[in-house]
Amino acid sequence: MTCNLLLVDDHSLIRAGVRALVLDIPGYAVIGEANDGAQLLEMVEKLSPDIILLDISMKLTGGLEALQRLKAVRPQSKVLILSMHTDPTLIMQALESGAHGYLLKDTTATELEHALEALRNNERYLSPAIAHTVINQALVRAQKSQPESVETHNLTARQLEILRLIVRGKSTREIASGLGLSIKTVETHRSQIMKRLQIFDVAGLVLFAVREQIISLDD
């Protein structure tokens, strides 16, 4: 079954480049393009895309504003941010606003495919290139808020190992390959981790992992 994508970027050359990359990935099709957040919201209702590739900085209605409004218009569509920005505050804001993944524009075709596959499978994706940045931002927030500690003994040793890899931005396929497990087994562990922690987004998992010293900036 084909996964339908909507491209949103105010630069036509960027859209053309992304479209070309997507054409080489089996199982995906670009069904529309928009050049700002307002046009995106109009097209979403008509096209019902499965995944939206969204830029943050655009003229008129920007990506972050569009993210907030998408929750009401088309909550079932997954949003993959495709941006040149590496500012940690902006990245966290995008994740907390509803983005399911964050990818840098200088990404490779292979990483784009991994990100699309993750979102298609109802997973989150964080570009490995910015994983350290997100961890650092989460650490800063944890130090400021000083939340109550959450015991980690509810997670098994294997689940803690998988949690560390998720936080570092590894996809399910990469985790399975690295640990010698099946994709289904990793998916089961991922689901159990989120259920036990009651955390269902990448930003939350990163904050938890830093706060509980499961992962550090030196990892």
List the chain domain ranges: 3-126, 133-211
Residue appearing with tokens 């500690």: 149
Confidence of residue 80 (pLDDT cuts 50, 70, 90): very high
pLDDT of residue 144: 60
Mean pLDDT of 63-73: 81
Higher confidence at residue 77 or residue 218?
A: 77
CATH architecture of 3-126: 3-Layer(aba) Sandwich (3.40)
Per-residue pLDDT of 44-60, as tens digits, reads 989 999 999 998 877 66
**Do the strands 125-126 and 3-8 form a parallel or antiparallel pair, or are they unpaired?**
unpaired
Check pLDDT > 50 for residue 11. yes
Main-chain phi, psi angles of 127, to 5 degrees: -55, 130
Check pLDDT > 50 for residue 13. yes
Which amino acid belongs to residue 117?
E
For residues 33 and 128, what is the distance between their CA atoms, to the nearest angstrom?
27
Mean pLDDT of 10-34: 93
Confidence of residue 199 (pLDDT cuts 50, 70, 90): confident
Per-residue pLDDT of 121-175, as tens digits, reads 888 888 877 877 777 766 666 556 544 444 555 788 899 999 988 888 788 889 9
pLDDT of residue 145: 54
Confidence of residue 29 (pLDDT cuts 50, 70, 90): very high
Task: Find all residues with CB under 8 Å of 76, minimum gap 6, and list them.
Answer: none
Main-chain phi, psi angles of 101, to 5 degrees: -165, 165
Which amino acid belongs to residue 172?
T
DSSP state of 76: T
For residues 35 and 56, what is the distance between their CA atoms, to the nearest angstrom?
11
40-44, 91-95, 137-141, range with the lowest pLDDT = 137-141
Task: Find all residues with CB under 8 Å of 196, minimum gap 6, and list them.
Answer: 154, 155, 159
CA 6 to chain centre: 16
CATH architecture of 133-211: 3-Layer(aba) Sandwich (3.40)
213 class by beta-carbon count within 10 Å (0-12 exposed, 13-18 middle, 19+ buried): exposed
CA atoms within 13 A on the CB side of 162: 26
Task: Find all residues with CB under 8 Å of 165, minimum gap 6, and list them.
Answer: 174, 175, 178, 179
